[in-house]
Structure 1
């Protein structure tokens, strides 16, 4: 062959393959299909995908198929010839009848595909009280959500990607998109502790796979939502999707009125100049503004395996205003802020039928802000200042990936990605009155990140698999330049058809945000300051996990992770003046190890529950934290229980609880947290309309109270004021239109 890969083996158009459906003709995912010789010798095993399809790489004739699924009767099929097209096999639902009691076997909770934990969100939404894709993801085992941020038990960070590629949307924008994505739009969600390199993310990830256009179909949804958390807020959103066998079009828009109110009480026993100052502050922070998000995507299908997609995302915050008012025995301070931001993102992605995936993406972000601070100190003096700032970021990213199927079920993959970012930041002081440290800053950063990887995967005849890869990275920003290699390994061991073991090793590098690497100083009030750090270094993470899945639903995970140069923001009572400094700094390391357990429970169709428990040991060390180095350790436990009750066909209730024992973060001590929430959901108008009501943190005990009692530092912080919230969501589904086949008119005798 001209490309010099003579070991490449193309699959024959005729092969041992088929499709498995139920008695209604719908495909069945997760059927175990065992291939045997006529004398019952085991050859290979395969699992059906979301379309009910399976295929074997070996051709043995005559042969026998054994089709097994916990919810269906086992079926054996004798084969003597290769089919020209995929044969269809029908399985009967398995029912066990005991007098008047009928017990129907449940669908497997999780499927394991090439080391990925794959979940059918549509099936999950039938059991849980979820209204959209985002809420469905938060119900997956081991995943928790707090203030719009998702985390996975045992992982230092979690990245959400769409259709196998990372997104440039931040956490808030991604939350908005997924909350406006119906669950039925998602084909599956894949949870990975060690994402493969072709996804261009490292470490833990959730891959949300959206369905491709396959037929004439129209659907949509309009949503009105309301939330009360001291202030009243809400918004309107809508999404539409129209598809044909070749084309697909998506559109989504949300306008959201954001109003927040938080209050923090602090007591700082600050030693300065051999004197102890008891500084007590009460800070009330208000923010309001409108956020607008729009997304549209156009998809074209050349074939079932060849797709092209063009997508645009826009996010606009035309005028966000904030106020921080601080009172106490040290100061009377008022800070007014105003921010305007805009983001445009355009991406083009192509997926070919020969294993090629490529794409290009451009992002433009602009932000302008201003703030005015006035502080009267108790001792009689005052300060006043005005700051204006701006940031503009242009970012361009490209990637290409190629995979080949080799002999003996080996698969070779390789690819590259490159990202260039140009960030311009400025902060300028104006109208400064009083004794204030001012420093105008201008930054013009050029960031280059290039990755090249190679991977090798092996699928064993028993259904097990192994995946190995290494990624080389070149990174440069300003005068900082670094080469790095990131190894990755994943082993999936199929013990039998329903029990699995997965081992995963990953490594990653995490970079600080652009604003954190500036040497600017911002003022929260007359006592608290926010300092940038121009010498921040990227953090290096190594993670190892082992997951045992029993009966395709119970999961036990053991994990270990170590992050060197870990960076986080911590407070420090200055030894040079009366100021509380918040600054992002690198630590020596942050290390965790522990275990997580996930236990689903169901009784009939009326009750579904999930219990999750996490136990971890934290070890954090920093030898260069001002003049007070720390080396701290702590055991932490987390318990979560979600209960869903169904009353009839249209009404369901949810009761959930979340507890976290006391924890640490740097010099911070964090108290225990407890969150109790309840919810109700009612569907009407033939299932098109849904009304949901959620009440969160009923006892107002879900927000942390923190303290610093360490080497002369004494600081108490309480921001638990009014964390309780009530939200209402009303949605109405449009369409669900499928074009019917039209009778063809005979025109064979027309014309001349």
Structure 2
């Protein structure tokens, strides 16, 4: 069911900000403190100098950070990037997406000193081609003691969902422990209208997809100071998710011409019921030694990760009348889709600082084994028993080894100019096969990936920066598992073990004025880009009728180029009562490629052409208004609009959202009420029409209009220094599990 969210990556926001200078008078000496600074490879947001931190949690604070936004109150996005990887104190977080969301929403913003936004990561970072980085720097206090917080939330969309979390931090002398436990009971509903066909055939599917997920997760980080300059740490992360009675229910209307050219209409209903459980557990051992007081250090990691998933689908097709009333059952199958991923990983990083020169080098190695034994059996009505479908069952195993080394050099040439150059050399050796067949895939690749960052401060009011990076994006493990997820018997999603890694080349030019205004120009070119390509062909069904089979096949389709220009502003008005973050942008998305073959079976389909280009306007308005002199009441008014745009699947119609929020701070409690998508305009509609007349249409309502209520209670010593957040050696692999 989760793979049915076609548009999760479509709403990458272009939200960008900058922030004005703030002055302080200290002993009659006037000092200027920059809330926003542009360094050679990152934008630094000084939270302590911003009026928006008080009473917020880390997630809400990130949404108010320059270049960062969230359109669904779940995923954090960076301008021009499809994904934001969260780092804590320079180390990648060890949590999956659901656990990370809960963690950020339970972290008080008052614990944060700075937020660094790295739109074009250097070669030292183990991230994918379309990833940006957000590095959260926590305040450093040496006080011993205990603190924590409790958070309770309730969300009303079509159905009601609940969540709760608890975090506790402890420090005593050389020992520090941080822990978190969170749980959620989430209902996700979607309403679909799907259409595909040509001049002689039309299939219209109308219905819903609904999920009920119970999630339990948490982590424990233990950090011990061996000496003043040496630390050892152990982290354990665990996440359990259970999906109960998820269902897709689609009423299908088939309009076609038979062999005698007579127009006929038939009706059927396809119902797919799914239950699933998955576990994600990882453990990481870390050693860090500071070599001097200038920032020189060495960091070692060793990690083990295990991900297991069990999923069962039962699909039933029934002939109906025009009103959708069932007449007779004509098809039924059940499907087992297990998955197991084991990974061992190590990393080594070394940094040496010599005056204004910094040299960093290191490497990583990981070994991953995946095992996916998909089993499908169809119901045989004469014998009233299930019989295995050999063509739709497969046992796919995949072994992968990845090694990489990197080197960076960074130097400040006076106060005006700084530069950082580097390169990463990656080695990939992988082999996958469907057991008992001749279908296999073997790869042995070497990639050299250079990076460049330049920053020039023209004067105190003007600065200019340029960045270039090349990256490899490897497919997630679920993408290469050759399973099928059925909407109907002739309309389904199919993954692909032959998906190749994509190569991306990213450039960015940024001009800033008075730390309040910015102009950002970026371009990203992707070779061997991937998507779920909709392939169609005419076949005969079991009744001898001519119907259109539609396969959404995960595969490489060609090249993609995304160019964007954003003009933004962040300013405070009326003595910081009103904080306004605005951006106006244009993006040009271009696609080129053709797919006409199932990469697994070799079957031919009508060609799908991804060729096309379109210019799209974008507007983001974010307002935070302090309603009281005590700084305990706040009002938020936010709006975004994304015009009609070209995507790989076709044309996405305009989307927008108007949101309101009210926040009340009372002692150690924070009460927040949010109204999302008030006008119910955050709705996905995609059209694709090919030159041969084949068309595909998706109308998807994810019920984004919702009401959120949350209560957060902070307790204990607010000046407590937290345990180190340890960069896990298996973090990159965990991201590719898709969980």
Residue equivalent to 2:561: 591
Aligned residue runs from structure 1 range 156-171, under 5 A: 157-171=83-97
Q: Does 1:448 align with 2:401?
A: yes
Which of 446, 450, 474 does residue 511 from structure 1 map onto?
Answer: 474
Contact 2:141 2:719 in 1 (8 A): no
Q: Deviations over 1:482-504 (max 9, x none)?
A: 10000001112122345322211
- Taking structure 1 as reference, are residues 699 and 122 closer, same or farther at Cα in structure 2, changes over 3 Å only? same
Which of 483, 487, 494 does residue 524 from structure 1 map onto?
Answer: 487
Contact 2:533 2:608 in 1 (8 A): no
Which of 602, 609, 622 does residue 580 from structure 2 map onto?
Answer: 609
Residue equivalent to 1:45: none
Which of 203, 208, 211 does residue 284 from structure 1 map onto?
Answer: 208
C-alpha separation between the residues in 2 aligned to 1:162 and 1:713?
Answer: 48
Contact 2:123 2:450 in 1 (8 A): no
Aligned residue runs from structure 1 range 89-104, under 5 A: 92=28, 94=30
Residue equivalent to 1:316: 240
Report the 3-state secondary structure (helix = DSSP H, G, I; strand = E; otherwise coil) of the residue aligned with 1:565: strand
Q: Does 1:717 align with 2:698?
A: yes
CA drift of 1:508 comes to 0.4
- Range 114-123 or range 591-600, more displaced: 114-123
Residue equivalent to 2:369: 422
CA drift of 1:536 comes to 0.7
- Taking structure 1 as reference, are residues 489 and 378 closer, same or farther at Cα in structure 2, changes over 3 Å only? same
Aligned residue runs from structure 1 range 132-281, under 5 A: 132-147=57-72, 148-155=74-81, 157-201=83-127, 204-211=132-139, 214-268=142-196, 270-271=197-198, 276-281=200-205
Contact 2:167 2:181 in 1 (8 A): yes
Report the 3-state secondary structure (helix = DSSP H, G, I; strand = E; otherwise coil) of the residue aligned with 2:717: strand
C-alpha separation between the residues in 1 aligned to 2:335 and 2:448?
Answer: 42
Residue equivalent to 1:666: 648
CA drift of 1:201 comes to 2.8
- Range 367-376 or range 630-639, more displaced: 630-639
C-alpha separation between the residues in 1 aligned to 2:175 and 2:107?
Answer: 19
C-alpha separation between the residues in 2 aligned to 1:737 and 1:690?
Answer: 15
CA drift of 1:247 comes to 2.6
Aligned residue runs from structure 1 range 248-647, under 5 A: 248-268=176-196, 270-271=197-198, 276-302=200-226, 306-329=230-253, 330-354=267-291, 355-377=297-319, 382-406=330-354, 409-433=356-380, 438-478=391-431, 479-576=442-539, 577-603=547-573, 604-626=575-597, 627-647=607-627
Contact 1:72 1:91 in 2 (8 A): no
Q: Deviations over 1:269-297 (max 9, x none)?
A: x23xxx72232221211211310011111
CA drift of 1:681 comes to 0.3
Contact 1:217 1:737 in 2 (8 A): no
C-alpha separation between the residues in 2 aligned to 1:670 and 1:189?
Answer: 33
CA drift of 1:653 comes to 0.7
Q: Deviations over 1:519-567 (max 9, x none)?
A: 3323122342111212110000000111122222322111111000010
Contact 1:690 1:731 in 2 (8 A): yes
- Taking structure 1 as reference, are residues 210 and 424 closer, same or farther at Cα in structure 2, changes over 3 Å only? farther
Q: TM-score, normalised by structure 2?
A: 0.82
Instruction: Find the structure with the greater CA-based Rg.
Output: 1
C-alpha separation between the residues in 1 aligned to 2:471 and 2:718?
Answer: 45
Q: Which segments of 5 or more consecutive residues in structure 2 lack a partner in the other structure?
A: 1-20, 254-266, 292-296, 322-327, 382-386, 432-441, 540-546, 598-606, 721-739
- Taking structure 1 as reference, are residues 680 and 296 closer, same or farther at Cα in structure 2, changes over 3 Å only? same
C-alpha separation between the residues in 2 aligned to 1:426 and 1:217?
Answer: 50
CA drift of 1:613 comes to 2.1
- Range 670-679 or range 357-366, more displaced: 357-366
CA drift of 1:168 comes to 5.0
Contact 2:482 2:496 in 1 (8 A): yes
Which of 629, 635, 641 does residue 653 from structure 1 map onto?
Answer: 635
C-alpha separation between the residues in 2 aligned to 1:362 and 1:710?
Answer: 47
CA drift of 1:304 comes to 6.2
C-alpha separation between the residues in 1 aligned to 2:596 and 2:638?
Answer: 39
Q: Deviations over 1:209-233 (max 9, x none)?
A: 3445622243211111000111011
C-alpha separation between the residues in 1 aligned to 2:150 and 2:681?
Answer: 34
Larger RCO (alpha carbons 8 Å, 6+ apart): 2
Q: Does 1:71 align with 2:18?
A: no
Q: Deviations over 1:323-343 (max 9, x none)?
A: 111124332121110000111
C-alpha separation between the residues in 2 aligned to 1:737 and 1:136?
Answer: 18
Contact 2:45 2:66 in 1 (8 A): no
Report the 3-state secondary structure (helix = DSSP H, G, I; strand = E; otherwise coil) of the residue aligned with 1:468: strand
- Range 661-670 or range 146-155, more displaced: 146-155
- Taking structure 1 as reference, are residues 315 and 213 closer, same or farther at Cα in structure 2, changes over 3 Å only? farther
Q: Which segments of 5 or more consecutive residues in structure 1 lack a partner in the other structure?
A: 1-68, 74-89, 95-104, 740-752
Q: Number of aligned pairs?
A: 637
Report the 3-state secondary structure (helix = DSSP H, G, I; strand = E; otherwise coil) of the residue aligned with 1:495: strand
